[in-house]
Structures are given as C-alpha cells and as structure tokens.
Amino acid sequence: MKKTRFDRWPCPVARAVDQAGDAWTLLILREAFYGQRRFDQFEEALGIGRNILARRLERMVENGLLERVPYQPRPLRHEYQLLPRGRALFPVLMALLRWGNDWAAGPEGPPVTLVDRRTGQPVQPVLVDEATGHPVTPERVRARPGPGFPGALLEEEPVRRRFRLTTP
C-alpha cells in the first residue's frame, strides 16, 4: 500500500501528521511523558509488536523526537529520551486527552485525569493565545499564508478561496 507523504505540503498540520500523527507514535510519546524510557517498557505498556515498536522508535529518532542513549555497556542497552522537538508535542497530547475525556469517555467518566503536581488540584488543558491569554477557537482565528507558503500556489484559485484572498 502506497503511503501519501505530507512532508512537502505547504501545511503545518499535514507536516506534523507526517512526522508524529500515527496512533503508535502518539502513544509512544504518551508513555515517554509518563516516564517510560526503555524498549521493553514501551512494549509492555502498549502491547505493541516488537517490529512495529522498533520501526516507530527508529523513525522518532530520525525525526528528532527522541534520542537513543546507552544506559548499560554490557550488554549494550539503550533508552529513549525526549528531545525538545518531542517535548513540544506535549500540548498536542494534552489536547487529545482533553478531547478524549470530553467526547470519548464512557458513562463512568474519564479514565485519566490530570492533577497539578504541587497542589493535587484537577487541571483542564485549554489552548490559549500566548500573547493575549484568550482561548483559541475557530470563531476567533483564521488561517492565512505564512512566509514559507509557496508563492506560486497563491495564484491557484482553490488556494485563494481557502485563504479568502479573492474578492467576491
């Protein structure tokens, strides 16, 4: 089966999905944020096949999400540590957790809740604008071409309509 590559699409969502959007990658990241570091820990926590886990970890290292670091010389064993690029996906996972708790939980309630480490109080993640602190909602924002958007594509009518660059 041919896999569509999104790494050259002029869309940050498509590019992010290309690197970190499959379910196993997100679940491996979840476990890394929970403190798992070793291959066998990921395997046990996820019930994932060794071959699939090995491929995902290799790709995550190639994409700069994780770093493979030796922790034992004989026999040589490695663990996987989050790199800044991987840690930057934390808000994405928290948004998915919040959505899952709000929209995919059973009648008994959310299976996982977040609490503040210092106070023990419940935490509800929300997406806010860094500059203003206002919630980011579809009603508040719209997309527009950024400096990295290919100029030639801006001449195509579907792109112009999507970004509202045409006048009616």
pLDDT in tens, 21-61: 789 999 999 999 999 999 999 999 999 999 999 999 999 99
**pTM (two decimals):** 0.86
User: What is Dmax (Cα atoms) for the chain?
Assistant: 70
Q: Is residue 59 part of a domain?
A: yes
23 lies in the same domain as 52: yes
Q: Do 102 and 136 lie in a common domain?
A: no
The residue ranges of DSSP E strands in the chain, in sequence order, are: 66-72, 77-82, 114-115, 122-123
Over residues 53-62, the pLDDT tens digits come to 999 999 999 9
Gap between the Cα atoms of 162 and 143, Å rounded: 9
39-43's contacts with Cβ under 8 Å and 24+ in sequence apart are 39/78, 39/80, 42/80
Same domain, 40 and 107: no
| Residue 1 belongs to some domain of the structure | no
Q: Are 2 and 12 in contact (CB under 8 A)?
A: no
83 and 96 fall within a common domain = no
Q: Is residue 6 part of a domain?
A: no
The rounded radius of gyration (Å) of the Cα atoms in the chain is 20
Question: Does residue 83 share a domain with residue 16?
Answer: yes
Asked if residue 98 is part of any domain, the answer here is yes
| CA separation for the pair 110, 93 (Å, rounded) | 15
* Residue 2 counted as domain residue: no
Which residues does residue 82 pair with via DSSP β-bridges, in sequence order?
66
Whether 157 and 101 share a structural domain: no
Asked if residue 32 belongs to a domain, the reply is yes
- The verdict on residue 4 lying in a domain is no
Residue 42 lies in domain:
12-87
CA distance 65 to 72: 22
The count of domains in the chain is 3
